[in-house]
Structure formats: C-alpha cells, structure tokens
C-alpha cells in the first residue's frame, strides 16, 4: 500500500466547463459593449439615422392605415431615445455587472458555490437596470423578455451543477 499525500481534487463536469466558457465570452462581450456605450458617442449618431428611417416608415404605415405597427415603431424610437439619454449609466452598469459575472464564473470554474450567487446577482441586475433606466415600453419588454429567458436557462443549468461545488 502506498501513501498518497495529495488530496483528491474534484473533477469539473463537462457541462459546467462549457457553461463557464460561454458565460466568460458573453461577459467579456458585455463589458466591451458597456465600455463602448460609456465612452463613445456613436449611439447618438445611430439614433439620428434610425429616427429618420423610422419616421419615413411611420408615415408610410399611417398612409396605409396600419396604426398598430406605427405605435410599435414609436415605442421603439422612444426606447432608443431613452437608451441614448442613459447611455453612460447603462454602459457603466454593464461593465460593472460583467465584472461581477466574470468573478462568479471564475469561482464556479474553481468549483466554488459562492460564484453561483455572484452570477445570479449579475444576471438579475442586468435585467433590472435597463428596465429602470429605459422604461417598460413594448420594445423594451420584448428585449428584456428574451434576455430573461436566456438568463433563467443559464441560472437553471448552473443550479443543476451546484452539487459539484463546495
């Protein structure tokens, strides 16, 4: 019988490894997008171009008698205007929440259970902050709904892997 002084290191499941890699890539992308919003004025130029195109489309829709679609476009323009108005706070919050998310993912990569709660916080706050700043128009609710479904799916998949974390 031989003596082995090294303790057994728990093995990370493949699903958790894939989730962590995808989450790291997404959080880096989110950080870069937040930095772009916080430190550039590109969104103002894009809003001006989009507003001109939307106004042309809305006038055509109003002439055709499709008022419901025109209202939806107006809601999207209003949401875009609020997004530009709050671009810097949205960018800073996106950067901060991405860092918190990366910390959580790195901790889960190391099989630390506390990382799950960092990740959950950053995911939920990432949905709430834009809702508070931009508002709850129809276009905003569609975007937040899709992001919410993806967030819930990832949280559930990470929760399934909690049994492997200490």
CA 12 to the chain's CA centroid: 25
Write out pLDDT tens, residues 95-104.
Answer: 999 999 999 9
Q: Indicate the domain borders of the chain.
A: 14-164
Q: Tell whether the model's pLDDT for residue 138 goes beyond 80.
A: no
> Tokens standing for 151?
């967030």
User: Which of 51-60, 82-91, 109-118: highest mean pLDDT?
Assistant: 109-118
CB atoms within 10 A of CB 111: 17
Q: What CA–CA distance (Å, rounded) separates 155 from 84?
A: 30
Q: Residue 17, SS3?
A: helix
Place of tokens 């130029």: 45
Write out pLDDT tens, residues 25-55.
Answer: 999 999 999 999 999 887 777 777 777 777 7
Question: What pLDDT is recorded for position 66?
Answer: 67
Q: What CA–CA distance (Å, rounded) separates 79 from 119?
A: 27
Place of tokens 């990382």: 115
CB atoms within 10 A of CB 149: 10
- Reported pTM: 0.83
The answer to whether residues 52 and 77 touch, using CB atoms and an 8 Å cutoff, is: no
Write out pLDDT tens, residues 121-134.
Answer: 999 999 999 999 98
């Amino acid at each position: 019988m031989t003596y082995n002084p090294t303790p057994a290191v728990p093995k990370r499941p493949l699903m958790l490894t894939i989730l962590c890699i995808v989450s790291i890539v997404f959080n880096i992308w989110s950080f870069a997008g937040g930095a772009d919003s916080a430190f550039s004025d590109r969104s103002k130029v894009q809003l001006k171009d989009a507003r001109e195109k939307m106004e042309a489309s809305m006038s055509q829709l109003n002439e055709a008698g499709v008022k419901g679609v025109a209202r939806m476009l107006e809601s999207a323009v209003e949401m875009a205007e609020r997004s530009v108005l709050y671009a810097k706070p949205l960018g800073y919050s996106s950067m901060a929440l991405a860092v918190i998310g990366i910390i959580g993912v790195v901790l889960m990569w190391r099989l630390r259970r506390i990382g799950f709660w960092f990740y959950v916080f950053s995911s939920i706050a990432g949905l709430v902050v834009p809702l508070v700043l931009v508002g709850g128009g129809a276009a905003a609710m569609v975007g937040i709904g899709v992001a919410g479904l993806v967030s819930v799916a990832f949280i559930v998949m990470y929760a399934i892997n909690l049994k492997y974390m200490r």
